[in-house]
Chain A
Amino acid sequence: MAFVALGGNAPAKAQTPTKTGRVALYLLLPGLFYLGLFFLTPLFSLILTSLKAPSPSGEIGRYEVAAEFGNYLYAVGQYLPQIIRSFGFALLATIIALAISYPIAYFIAVKARNKPLLKGLLLTLVIAPFFISMLLRTFAWKQIFSNDSWVVNTLKDIGIFGSDSYIIGTNFAVIFGLVYNFIPFMTLPIFSSLDRLDLRLVEAGGDLYANPFTTFRKITFPLSLPGVISGTLLTFIPISGDYVVASRDFLGGPDTAMIGNVVEANFLRIQDYPTASALSVLLMAAIVVLVSIYVRRSGTEDLL
């Protein structure tokens, strides 16, 4: 557009952007088609399902098209604790993951900057868990924390645990599992931000008599903010909808169910598709709202 304003032969030049605009549009088509087919269609179907009412035959799993907004009220009324728990767990797990990941990322990106071998090794270690299926890793934790494991027995021997205490099925086990599974998602974006950090700025901070903490607060952290934001989003959003870790077959128990588990039970066990769909829509809406507030607050809208 800039050189359109420049020249005297503006009309001739004006065609160029239109043409590229059309090409860009054609190039966009597959993407739009993909979005329409695999995002909008299911979303539409999900919203439609969330408004269905039981069919008069009363058979389990039979629903007909309706505008039953009561499904949303029922879903919230029945499963409010699970909804709150999901976001609570997600928030807590994100904060813990950030606290663990930031120093790791800082060490790899800044302290190991001039030691390529060490840096490569450490990065591999962060990514290594991805080489094994997440289900298997979670199962491994289930074994490690099982009642007859050395962990539980040691805790009992040193008197921290009573004879009837256990780990699996507690909030601790679930949050631990969530943090563990999502640490790489937090570490890598922060790493890539810190990797670009210009150390001369940190040096300048020191020259201007800022103590290390102030330098971190005023220079390092703000410059790593894009990584922190994308890391927290990559962690918070999937954790809110996670249903594996909190499942009773993995690290969860009867009082650790999250929204994902509720949706799974409603969908697969009792064929209550409207409630399950209503919960999915609510989860999606809640995440969109929370995330936009968060991104707005942290002043990095251009990330979205």
Chain B
Amino acid sequence: MKRELPQDPMMRELVQMARKHQMSRRAALAGFGGTAAALTLASCTSAEEGLTPATDVSDSEPVIVWHNWPAYMDEDDDGNYPTLERFQAESGISVDYRIEIDDNDTWYAKVKDQLELGQDIGADVACPTGWMASRLQNLGYLQTYDNANMPNKVANIAPGYLGSADDPDRIYSVPWQGGFAGIGYNKAAYKEATGKDAPGSMADLWAAELKGRVGLLSEMRDTVGLVLMSQGIDITSTSSLTEDAFMAALDAIKEQIDSGQIYNVRGNSYLDDLSTGNIIAATAWSGDITIINYESGTDDDPEPFGFIFPESGATLWADVFVTPMGATHKANVEKLINYYYDPMNAAELALWVNYITPVVGAQEAAAEMDPELAEDQLIFPNADTLAKSKAFRSLTGQEEQRFASAWQNLLLGA
């Protein structure tokens, strides 16, 4: 009559402990005490000893739970995900795809306690942004993927994603989709307000004609990164992007907020501000602009919104697959990653979500499906476009705490 033990290591330990003490009243109490002691111990020792991956039960359980951001999966009119359904049919693995991540910081706040104890966070794979993945990797929260199980990834990953100091072979985190942050604007309203066709630099956002009609992204690395670049700082370099430089950029932003130039600083909801006309221009994510054009475009005016790189350059980011220590279906996840690194699948996905695919060969595959979109620099950037974009350098724990505090305090007006 014994039931199978749960896979989550902490739960398994607790169940075993409970079984050891058969349930007489006294033993139950002792077990309770022991459990509390085990919990305390677990929380104390895990950090020093380091976490170990949970036992992989992929062979007996063909399932994956996947946490991802909104609007990040191709979707047909009935709300199905065609590429994902094909994967399930081909592999026999059923995928529970959940839109759980709305913001890196709040997602981390939600799962950090389980991560710290090596417990299951309820997902076998999640796709936070690269800098968050680095943090998880440095804290020892992530399992490593086996390249041998992902031949497509080895063959097709864009070389730009390899060779970083943290993870040169991309075994802790594998890129899912990437994108740019630049300036998004309402074409008609911008022309009416300024008389110009399009903004060209970050300084154009501070123009007096746009007072109170400018939005900023609350994602620190994108907004502050764009301002830093406009001040001539190389955001990839430790020697150029110093704490002083960062704080100077914050001062520049504060000046614009205090003067009433900035309407608001928001996360994903900046898109509502842009599409309802609350703001005329904003720091924006590339794929979003394609999506609101799709939603609010008419036959006369198919693209009412535009996206440009400021002349000083755009920021580049990537969201990545990671599998936490407590996840028990890593081998299934490797199959999933391998599937999405097939250029045909990657192309189909990229043409829907409109973000940058990390898969070499996807552009050629996309050219057969939709030649026009395959030329879109925001989805399939060429070397010139990529040269104009930079990724925010990785921050140490202390730097991150100071930078993030200063940024949040600025947003709180403190």
Q: Say which one of B13-21, B165-173, B264-272, B384-392 lies at the interface with A.
A: B264-272
Residues from 270 to 317 in B contacting A, C-beta threshold 8 Å = 276-279
Q: Check A214 for interface membership: any CB of B closer than 8 A.
A: no
Is A166 a contact of B263 with CB atoms below 8 Å? yes
Q: Which residues of B contact A164 (CB under 8 A)?
A: 211-213, 260
- Kindly state the separation between the CA atoms of A143 and B276 in the bound complex, as whole angstroms: 9
Residues from 258 to 276 in A contacting B, C-beta threshold 8 Å = 261-262, 265-272
- Kindly state the separation between the CA atoms of A61 and B413 in the bound complex, as whole angstroms: 22
Q: Check A59 for interface membership: any CB of B closer than 8 A.
A: yes
- Kindly state the separation between the CA atoms of A59 and B404 in the bound complex, as whole angstroms: 13
Q: Which residues of B contact A78 (CB under 8 A)?
A: 409, 414
- Kindly state the separation between the CA atoms of A59 and B405 in the bound complex, as whole angstroms: 14
Known: A168-B264, A248-B265. A146 touches B278 (CB 8 A): yes
Q: Which residues of B contact A166 (CB under 8 A)?
A: 212, 263, 278
Is A257 a contact of B413 with CB atoms below 8 Å? yes
Is A262 a contact of B414 with CB atoms below 8 Å? yes
Q: Check B135 for interface membership: any CB of A closer than 8 A.
A: yes
Residues from 134 to 167 in A contacting B, C-beta threshold 8 Å = 143, 146-148, 164-166
Q: Check A253 for interface membership: any CB of B closer than 8 A.
A: yes
Q: Which residues of B contact A248 (CB under 8 A)?
A: 218, 264-266, 411
Q: Check B61 for interface membership: any CB of A closer than 8 A.
A: no
Q: Check A215 for interface membership: any CB of B closer than 8 A.
A: no
- Kindly state the separation between the CA atoms of A248 and B263 in the bound complex, as whole angstroms: 10
Q: Which residues of B contact A147 (CB under 8 A)?
A: 213, 263, 276-279
- Kindly state the separation between the CA atoms of A166 and B269 in the bound complex, as whole angstroms: 18
Q: Which residues of A contact B409 (CB under 8 A)?
A: 78
Q: Which residues of A contact B263 (CB under 8 A)?
A: 147, 166, 168-169, 253
Within the complex, which residue of A57, A262, A269 is in contact with B105, where a contact is CB–CB below 8 Å?
A269
Chain A proximity of B38: nearest CB distance (Å): 20
Q: Check A7 for interface membership: any CB of B closer than 8 A.
A: no
Is B257 a contact of A254 with CB atoms below 8 Å? yes
Is B276 a contact of A271 with CB atoms below 8 Å? no
Residues from 94 to 122 in B contacting A, C-beta threshold 8 Å = 105-106, 108-109, 112
Is A82 a contact of B278 with CB atoms below 8 Å? no
Known: A165-B212, A168-B278. A82 touches B414 (CB 8 A): yes
In terms of DSSP, what is the predominant structure of the interface of chain A? loop
Within the complex, which residue of A146, A265, A267 is in contact with B411, where a contact is CB–CB below 8 Å?
A265
Within the complex, which residue of B135, B267, B408 is in contact with A266, where a contact is CB–CB below 8 Å?
B408
Residues from 368 to 401 in B contacting A, C-beta threshold 8 Å = 396-398, 400-401
Q: Check B203 for interface membership: any CB of A closer than 8 A.
A: no
Q: Check B39 for interface membership: any CB of A closer than 8 A.
A: no
Residues from 151 to 196 in A contacting B, C-beta threshold 8 Å = 164-166, 168-169
Is A265 a contact of B408 with CB atoms below 8 Å? yes
Chain A proximity of B54: nearest CB distance (Å): 23
Within the complex, which residue of A59, A165, A169, A253 is in contact with B397, where a contact is CB–CB below 8 Å?
A59
**Nearest opposing residue in chain A for B260, CB measure:** A164
Is A268 a contact of B105 with CB atoms below 8 Å? yes
- Kindly state the separation between the CA atoms of A169 and B408 in the bound complex, as whole angstroms: 17
**Nearest opposing residue in chain A for B110, CB measure:** A268
**Nearest opposing residue in chain A for B278, CB measure:** A147
Q: Check A60 for interface membership: any CB of B closer than 8 A.
A: yes
Residues from 192 to 219 in B contacting A, C-beta threshold 8 Å = 211-213, 218
- Kindly state the separation between the CA atoms of A57 and B400 in the bound complex, as whole angstroms: 13
**Nearest opposing residue in chain A for B279, CB measure:** A147
- Kindly state the separation between the CA atoms of A81 and B412 in the bound complex, as whole angstroms: 10
- Kindly state the separation between the CA atoms of A165 and B213 in the bound complex, as whole angstroms: 10
Within the complex, which residue of A143, A165, A268 is in contact with B109, where a contact is CB–CB below 8 Å?
A268
Is B278 a contact of A254 with CB atoms below 8 Å? no
Is B401 a contact of A82 with CB atoms below 8 Å? no
Q: Check A58 for interface membership: any CB of B closer than 8 A.
A: yes
0 or 1 for each of A49-86: is its CB under 8 Å from B? (1 = yes) = 00000100111111000000000000000110110000
- Kindly state the separation between the CA atoms of A42 and B212 in the bound complex, as whole angstroms: 42
- Kindly state the separation between the CA atoms of A54 and B397 in the bound complex, as whole angstroms: 11
Is B414 a contact of A169 with CB atoms below 8 Å? no
Q: Which residues of A contact B400 (CB under 8 A)?
A: 60
Q: Check B320 for interface membership: any CB of A closer than 8 A.
A: no
Q: Check B346 for interface membership: any CB of A closer than 8 A.
A: no
Q: Check A255 for interface membership: any CB of B closer than 8 A.
A: yes
0 or 1 for each of A196-236: is its CB under 8 Å from B? (1 = yes) = 00000000000000000000000000000000000000000
Nearest 10 CB-CB pairings of A with B: A148-B277, A59-B397, A257-B412, A255-B413, A58-B397, A164-B211, A58-B398, A164-B212, A147-B278, A270-B404
Can you list 30 contacts pairing A with B, beta carbon distance less than 8 Å?
A54-B401, A58-B397, A59-B138, A60-B397, A61-B108, A79-B414, A82-B414, A146-B276, A148-B278, A164-B211, A165-B212, A169-B263, A248-B218, A248-B265, A249-B267, A253-B263, A254-B265, A254-B412, A254-B413, A255-B413, A256-B413, A257-B413, A257-B414, A262-B412, A265-B411, A267-B109, A268-B109, A269-B408, A271-B112, A272-B401
Please give 14 more A-B residue pairs, beta carbons under 8 A apart, in addition to A59-B135, A253-B263.
A60-B397, A79-B414, A148-B278, A166-B263, A166-B278, A169-B264, A249-B267, A254-B265, A255-B257, A256-B413, A257-B413, A269-B408, A270-B401, A271-B109
List residues of B whose CB falls within 8 A of some A CB.
Answer: 105-106, 108-109, 112, 135, 138-139, 211-213, 218, 257, 260, 262-267, 269, 276-279, 396-398, 400-401, 404-405, 408-414
